[in-house]
Structure 1
Amino acid sequence: MRRSKYHLLNKLYLVLNQPNCMNLVQWFSWYDEILADFGFDRSADEESAKLLQNLLGDDGLSPTDIKIKENVVIFGAGPSLKENVLEFKQINMENFSVICADGAVTALLEEDIVPEIVVTDLDGNIDDLLTSNHQGSIMVVHAHGNNMETLKKYVPKLENVLGTTQSTPLKNIYNFGGFTDGDRCLFLAGKLKAKNIILAGMDFGKVVTKYSRPDIDGELGHADSIKEKKLQYAKKLVEWMVENEEITICNVSNGETISMVKNIEFSDIPISK
């Protein structure tokens, strides 16, 4: 009964206060599973969300402040990232909005591409995150139980920030659904009315790159058990999005096959006019 009331209250909150957000009843069924599987602390997530709310004050963005094109490329930090970035540079980039997970921002900046939106819990290369932000990127900063000290240190250095949480949304802290930076990019794009979404550098396998794990020795490394499980959830959430939202999603990455997502080349990308 307690859980039913919790979900009902959050659904009511969604209707009244959370435009452009994922149905929280659906998200919290995922969230409950994630909490149990990883042993995360819901109260710590909620404390972090309140901290982010206080740090942003009245300066935080809302979804209505952000406009994107109907065609969106989402860059994750998987093994296909660098190759996909170079391929992206060969097409008319002006047709697309670029959203990236925080680890991918480094590879984009290396090729002089400043993403419109960076989705981050601030565990990527902080210098590159700050550079991208100061060059115009909107930062979608995510609060969770393990990044409170990082929020305190770096949020005051950022501008144009939209705050998110995976727990109960607050007045200026939103919950669009999604677990990892990569799949949260997808849920955000959907709620910002993207029509065609291209997944790039989103391989969902057992290999990590220096962009997602700067501490590895070399360009590539093996995902630890926690990272591997996070990527499995990310893939499941992408597949849920494909099945439940009226959005065309294609994949130019070279990683795992995503159910109901067509693998294409950048040259074959469908573009809304």
Structure 2
Amino acid sequence: MEFGLWEKYYKEILDDFGFSRPGDEASAKLLDEILSTEGCLTLDELGEIVGFSSKFIVFGAGPSLKEHVQLLKEDYDLKEYVLVAADGATTALIEERLSPDIIATDLDGNLDDILIANLRGANIVIHAHGDNIDKIASLTPYFTSVLGTTQAQPVGNLYNFGGFTDGDRALFLAVALGAEEIILAGMDFGDIVTKYSRPNLEKDLSEADEFKKKKLMYAEKFTQWIKDNESVNMINLLD
């Protein structure tokens, strides 16, 4: 999605959630400065790394995730797919002895597991927004093979492919990398959150608060946008 089109949705999100555009821009500027010093990937370089396939699996952190991982391990040759974990879904993959090729994160998942996956070869797509500027500052230098994204106007080394939550941004990233087929695993878009989505959750599952429900509504909306507007075969394992 081009930024000119995305900006319309972005303004709607800012108004709906009360987010600060200057805050998003400050976080993006900081991430760009860090990546300029530490080094980062371009989209073309990431494309070369994962260019072994045009088939992707995007793992969300919904309640169906573990069931879908088991199904995929039993019925699919996962070597044929680029595996993309949306933030906290990384933990479930590590539990199942799988290593994602890409992790899309705003750094609020289980950071130990994301670091482990990075050490095992996962490329990290770090997303800057106004609420995670402290984590951008303190955590970004620990990762290697990083591509930076923003939900505001792209600056410097950063990209904006469209999307709002880690899950639907991972889908837009897959499209940008030339995906022809995307399987959605653990992408429930429902009212239940998991320990993978919220690492501090006391139980495995809990009802989402109104803020999270609204975010999931946007995630589902943008997923449908991809189905309607991009030349990609999208398969949701929930269907």
TM-score, normalised with respect to structure 2? 0.96
- Equivalent position to 1:203, from 174, 188, 211: 188
- Equivalent position to 1:217, from 202, 206, 221: 202
Structure 2 equivalent of residue 235 of structure 1: 220
Structure 2 equivalent of residue 122 of structure 1: 107
Aligned residues: 233
1:85 equivalenced with 2:69 (yes/no):
yes
Instruction: Please identify the structure whose Cα radius of gyration is greater.
Output: 1
CA deviation profile, 1:10-30 (whole Å, cap 9, x unmatched): xxxxxxxxxxxx211110010
AA matched with 1:87 = L
CA distance in 1, matches of 2:201, 2:127: 24
Deviation at 1:149, TM superposition (A): 0.7
- 3-state secondary structure, aligned to 1:57: helix
Map 1:170-185 onto structure 2 (within 5 A): 170-185=155-170
CA distance in 2, matches of 1:145, 1:37: 15
CA deviation profile, 1:28-76 (whole Å, cap 9, x unmatched): 0100000000000000000000000011115111100013311111000
CA distance in 1, matches of 2:3, 2:141: 29
AA matched with 2:81 = F
CA distance in 2, matches of 1:216, 1:52: 28
Deviation at 1:97, TM superposition (A): 0.8
CA distance in 2, matches of 1:152, 1:127: 17
1:147 equivalenced with 2:147 (yes/no):
no
CA distance in 2, matches of 1:248, 1:116: 20
- Equivalent position to 2:40, from 37, 46, 60: 60
AA matched with 1:75 = F
Instruction: Name stretches of at least 5 consecutive residues in structure 2 with no aligned partner.
Output: none
Structure 2 equivalent of residue 271 of structure 1: none
CA distance in 2, matches of 1:23, 1:218: 39
Deviation at 1:153, TM superposition (A): 1.2
Q: Deviation above 6 Å: which 4+ runs of structure 1?
A: none
Structure 2 equivalent of residue 24 of structure 1: 3
AA matched with 1:153 = S
Structure 2 equivalent of residue 47 of structure 1: 26
Structure showing greater relative contact order (alpha-carbon pairs closer than 8 Å, 6 or more residues apart) = 2
